[in-house]
Each structure stands twice: as structure tokens, then as C-alpha cells.
């Protein structure tokens, strides 16, 4: 009945997450409230690990792309599950280090890392820097030399693949701000330059073609193009790269119409291509790295809101307004993303209405969904938005000076607060007259 298997309806007709009554959670902790299911997150991590073991003899590593949801708790969970992580800022790196995440298993991404961030990464022994451009490469080399170090890096490559997803999250094509292009020779040239630098050790190449992808083809093409490039590097530069990082981007079900690929199918297909290519070009099998973000945490998250006003505009639409919106979930306003909505205290009822969910911010575009199916809604009802575990909390803002909601983690039928709700005090803590 629901898009995620950890959701159910209890005897009170209330929606449950991991066995916990969401209406009671809303009463106890207030709304808006992010609720995450730790068991499901762990299960997702294990699926990645086992697919690498099964299809590629364990010669790989899944990195959790922590931009999807970054907090002390998630880094601890992911570390316990044996994954590495991808960070993209000093802030994510700082949080991970504070959670005692092993620095060697951290990959540092970003198209415009600052010198301070690069130094922070070097000083803390971050495992890999994924270098985006020539300027960054020079800064990194100088930093490394000044500290008498050699830094292990990968290069972010634009493989020239069209991933057929929303243009805002499409990154593999030549017109992208991320990385260096294959087809112009830019990627080859930068690796040649790096190979002559004393402070740099080129370990591998990376690509990430986009996000929320449902098709295997672009992933297969990317693997093929990247392996062919590795062969060129070997034959022309005599460098044999040992890591192939193919990024993330695996789609998940936001609504019933979404049809994600099973992780295993992805790893099976990509492993075949990499093995065949290695044979063809006489390359050693590279370690395959993948970087799932959304598919680790999205379906494990549910956001709870309290419905305030319900406004019927005759012959036009019915607005159901909630106590959150674009400040805690900007994905509708950014990508027109679709969600499954449920009235948590009437979860077993049929969805008889078509409504527009309005947020509380002073923007007409502040909606969470338009013309969506919902149970009959009234003031005081609790609205649950499903699959909000990725890119919601991490993209939240303070627009209209709204405090960020709390995050609750559920594990084995018990809940705990992993991020406290911000107070008004928190909002002004850095303000000065
Ligand atoms: N690796 C790199 C280098 C990335 O840039 C990303 C996402 C990932 C991995 C993880 O991709 P995932 O498995 O989560 O699709 N805010 C957008 C998504 C932006 C994705 C940015 N990069 C959204 O809410 O849909």
C-alpha cells in the first residue's frame, strides 16, 4: 500500500514508521518533524555492500554521498555499516570528523573547494581529493609540497553522457560546471600535467552523470567510456589507474509511478562492462567506487506537518496549508518533485480529495505538491510526506526566519532525537547589533 515497506497503518488508523505511531511522534516532538528509520538506512547500506561482493568480488566501495543528509548520527551509522563517504564542503567534513569517521574513507568532492578546505582535508588525512579543475590541482600541489606530502587524487570527468533526468541534476554532459571534459582533450591534459607534479598521486577517475536516474543504459555507457579513457591513459602516459568512481544517481520511488533499478542489477551490469573492458585493453581490474546518496536515505525519511487552514477556491482548487514548506523541503519549488502525501491520523482511509499542499512561507510558489490525492483533510490533522530523507533537511533554509525542525531517528521500535529543533534563541545566536 505504501511506497516504502517500513510504513504501515496501526489499529488507531495512524501511519507508523518502523512500528512507531507518527501521530504520537508529532504530539511529543511538535511539527514540522523529520522522522528517519535507521533500520532501513542500514538495510540500504548492506544492499550496496552485498552487490559489490556478489558481482565484483568485493573489489569496491560504496560511499554514502552525505549531501543527501549530513549529521553526526548518519556518519556513525554509515561507518558502522562499512561504507565510505563523499563530502563536498568543510562543513560536511567537519561533521564527519566529529563523528569519528575514518578520514581515509572520505572522498572530498566539489567544483570550487577553497584553499582552506583543501588544507583542512590534507591536515586531517582525507583519503582522496576528487579534483575538479586545473586551478584546484595547482593549489593542491602547492599545499602538498609545503607540507611534504603526496596527495592521492581522482579527477572529476565529464564523460559526455546524457542521463535523461531533470536538467538541474544532470551533470555528465560537456556543458556542466563540474569537472573536465573528455571529448576536448581537457581531461587527458590535466592528468598529464598532474603526473608531473611532485605533490600529486593520480589514483583514478570519477564521473557522476546525474541524479534520480531510472535507466541502466547511461550508467553502462559511462562505465564503458571511462574504461576506454583509462586504457588511453595507460597506453599514452604509462599510468595504470587503480580506481574507477562511477558516482551516484540511482533513482528511488517517490510515488508509485517511479520504477527504480535494483542496486544489484546496476552492479551486475557495470561489473560486466568493466571486466570486459579490462580484458580488451589489458588493464588490471580497477576498484569500483559508487556514491549513492538519495537511495540510502530518501525512503527512510518521512516529514510530519500540522495542517492549519484549508482553503477552497470554488472551481479552482483547494489549498491545504501546513506549518512548514519550502524552508524544510525546497524540492517542489526547485524541481517540481512529486511526493506521496498521507493524512497520518487517517492513514487507512481512501484518498478522496485532490488538493494543493501549501507551505507557510511568503511565496506563492511555496508548495509541496499540486493536484495531489489525499484523504479528507481538516485543521489539526497531521500531514505525512513520504520519502523525504534525502535533500530535505540538508537543503533546509531559515527563510522567513523559520527554525529548522528536529530530526528523529527510529531504531528497533524506539525513537531518539538526533538533531534538536532550533529555538528562536538559536536563530539569533550569531546576530550582533
Ligand atoms: N556523487 C556526486 C559527485 C554527486 O554530485 C552526487 C549528487 C552524488 C554522488 C549522489 O547522488 P544521488 O545518489 O543522491 O542521486 N538536490 C537534488 C539532488 C542533487 C544531487 C547532487 N549530487 C535533489 O533534491 O534531487
Look up residue 134 and give its three cell numbers. 586545473
Q: What is the pLDDT of residue 2?
A: 85
Q: pLDDT at position 175, please?
A: 83
pLDDT at residue 200 tops 90:
yes
- The C-alpha atoms of residue 112 and residue 70 are separated, in whole angstroms, by 20
Residue 284 per-residue DSSP state:
P
Q: Which of 247, 289, 223, 217 is nearest to 231 (CA)?
A: 223
**Could you identify the atom of ligand 1 that is nearest to the CA of residue 395?**
16
pLDDT at 168 over 70: no
Residue 169: what pLDDT? 60
How many of the other CB atoms lie within 10 Å of CB of 294?
25
pLDDT given for residue 124 in this prediction: 98
Tell me the CA–centroid distance for residue 248 and ligand 1, in Å: 7
| pLDDT of 166 over the 80 cut | no
- Report helix angle 72-80 to 38-56, nearest 10: 40
Question: How far is the centre of ligand 1, averaged over its atoms, from the C-alpha of 345 (Å)?
Answer: 33
Whose alpha carbon is nearest atom 15 of ligand 1?
Answer: 249
pTM: 0.97
What secondary structure does DSSP assign to 341-373, as a single string? Answer: EEEGGGTTS---EEEEEE-SSS-TT-EEEEEEE
pLDDT of residue 211: 93
**Share of residues in the chain with pLDDT > 90 (%):** 94
Q: How confident is the model at residue 176 (pLDDT cuts 50, 70, 90)?
A: confident
Candidates 210, 292, 293, 339: which one to mutate for ligand 1, based on the most atoms within 8 Å of Cβ? Answer: 293
* 3-class DSSP state of 68: helix
Which atom from ligand 1 is nearest to the alpha carbon of 206? 3
pLDDT above 70 coverage of the chain, percent: 98
Quick one: pLDDT at residue 173? Answer: 76
Task: Give residue-wise pLDDT tens across range 41-56.
Answer: 999 999 999 999 999 9
pLDDT of the residue at 167: 62
Strand, coil or helix: what is 86?
A: strand
Tell me, in angstroms, the distance from the centre of ligand 1 to residue 163's CA.
13
Pocket test of ligand 1: the residue of 211, 266, 328 to mutate, having most ligand atoms within 8 Å of its CB, is 211
Q: Which residues of 176-207 are buried (b: 16+ CB within 10 A; e: fewer)?
A: bebbbbbeeebbbebbeebeebebbebbbbbb
pLDDT at site 131: 98
State the Cα–Cα distance between residues 234 and 218, nearest whole angstrom: 24
pLDDT digits (tens, 9 = 90+) for 298-325: 999 999 999 999 999 999 999 999 999 9
On the question of pLDDT at 172 being above 70, the answer is no
Ligand 1: which of 249, 292, 300 to mutate, judged by most atoms within 8 Å of the beta carbon? 249
pLDDT in tens, 67-124: 999 999 999 999 999 999 999 999 999 999 999 999 999 999 999 999 999 999 999 9
310 closest CA partner among 250, 245, 374 = 374
- Residue whose CA lies nearest to ligand 1 atom number 5: 208
Q: How far lies 121's CA from each of 97, 145, 178, in Å?
A: 10, 14, 20
The overall average pLDDT reported for the chain is 96
Query: Which residue in 254, 299, 270 sits closest to 207, CA to CA?
Result: 270
Residues with CB under 6 A from ligand 1: 65, 67-68, 86, 109, 169, 208, 211-212, 247-250, 291-295, 331, 335, 391
| Ligand 1 atom at minimum distance from 298 CA | 14
Residue spans of alpha helices (H) in 292-418: 294-297, 331-335
Catalytic residues: 362
Task: With beta carbons less than 8 A apart as the criterion, state whether 47 and 299 touch.
Answer: no
pLDDT in tens, 212-240: 999 999 999 999 999 999 999 999 999 99
For residue 166, give the ligand 1 atom closest to its CA. 25
Cβ-Cβ contacts under 8 Å for 38 (sequence gap 6 or more)? 18, 77, 300, 409, 410, 411
Is residue 170 predicted with pLDDT exceeding 90? no
Calculate mean pLDDT across residues 282-288.
98
pLDDT value of position 1: 75
pLDDT at 368 over 80: yes
* Residue having the nearest C-alpha atom to atom 6 of ligand 1: 248
Residue-range domains of the chain with CATH: 7-30+300-428 (2.40.37.10), 38-297 (3.20.20.10)
Amino acid at each position: 500500500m505504501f511506497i516504502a515497506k517500513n510504513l504501515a497503518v496501526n489499529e488507531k488508523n495512524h501511519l507508523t514508521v518502523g512500528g512507531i505511531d507518527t501521530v504520537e511522534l508529532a504530539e511529543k516532538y511538535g511539527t514540522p518533524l523529520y522522522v528517519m528509520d535507521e533500520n532501513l538506512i542500514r538495510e540500504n547500506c548492506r544492499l550496496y555492500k552485498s552487490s559489490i561482493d556478489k558481482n565484483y568480488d568485493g573489489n569496491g566501495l560504496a560511499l554514502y554521498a552525505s549531501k543527501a543528509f549530513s549529521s553526526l548520527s548518519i556518519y556513525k551509522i554509515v561507518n558502522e555499516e562499512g561504507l565510505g563517504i563523499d563530502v563536498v564542503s568543510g562543513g560536511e567534513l567537519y561533521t564527519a570528523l566529529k563523528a569519528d569517521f575514518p578520514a581515509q574513507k572520505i572522498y572530498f568532492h566539489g567544483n570550487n573547494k577553497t584553499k582552506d578546505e583543501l588544507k583542512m582535508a590534507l591536515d586531517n588525512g582525507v583519503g582522496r581529493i576528487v579534483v575538479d579543475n586545473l586551478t584546484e590541482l595547482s593549489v593542491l600541489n602547492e599545499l602538498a609540497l609545503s607540507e611534504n606530502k603526496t596527495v592521492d587524487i581522482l579527477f572529476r570527468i565529464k564523460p559526455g553522457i546524457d542521463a535523461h533526468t531533470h536538467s538541474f541534476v544532470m551533470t555528465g554532459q560537456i556543458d556542466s560546471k563540474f569537472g573536465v571534459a573528455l571529448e576536448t582533450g581537457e581531461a587527458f591534459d590535466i592528468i598529464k600535467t598532474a603526473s608531473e607534479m611532485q605533490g600529486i598521486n593520480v589514483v583514478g577517475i570519477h564521473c557522476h552523470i546525474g541524479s534520480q536516474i531510472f535507466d541502466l543504459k547511461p550508467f553502462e555507457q559511462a562505465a564503458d567510456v571511462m574504461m576506454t579513457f583509462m586504457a588511453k591513459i595507460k597506453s599514452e602516459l604509462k599510468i595504470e589507474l587503480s580506481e574507477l568512481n562511477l558516482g551516484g544517481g540511482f533513482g528511488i520511488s517517490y510515488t508509485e509511478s517511479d520504477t527504480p533499478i535494483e542496486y544489484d542489477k546496476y552492479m551486475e551490469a557495470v561489473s560486466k562492462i568493466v571486466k570486459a573492458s579490462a580484458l580488451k585493453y589489458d588493464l588490471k581490474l580497477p576498484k569500483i567506487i559508487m556514491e549513492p546518496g538519495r537511495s540510502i536515505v530518501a525512503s527512510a525519511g518521512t516529514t510530519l506537518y500540522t495542517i492549519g487552514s484549508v482553503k477552497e477556491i470554488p472551481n479552482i482548487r483547494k489549498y491545504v496549508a501546513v506549518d512548514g514548506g519550502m524552508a524544510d523541503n525546497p524540492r517542489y519549488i526547485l524541481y517540481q518533485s512529486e511526493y506521496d502525501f498521507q493524512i497520518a491520523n487517517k492513514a487507512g482511509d481512501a484518498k478522496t480529495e485532490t488538493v494543493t499542499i501549501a507551505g507557510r512561507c511568503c511565496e506563492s510558489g511555496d508548495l509541496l505538491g499540486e493536484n495531489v490525492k489525499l484523504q479528507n483533510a481538516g485543521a489539526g490533522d497531521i500531514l505525512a510526506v513520504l520519502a523525504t530523507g534525502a535533500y530535505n533537511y540538508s537543503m533546509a533554509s531559515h527563510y522567513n526566519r523559520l527554525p529548522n525542525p528536529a530530526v528523529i531517528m527510529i531504531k528497533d521500535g524506539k525513537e531518539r532525537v538526533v538533531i534538536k529543533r532550533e529555538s528562536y534563541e538559536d536563530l539569533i545566536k550569531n546576530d550582533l547589533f
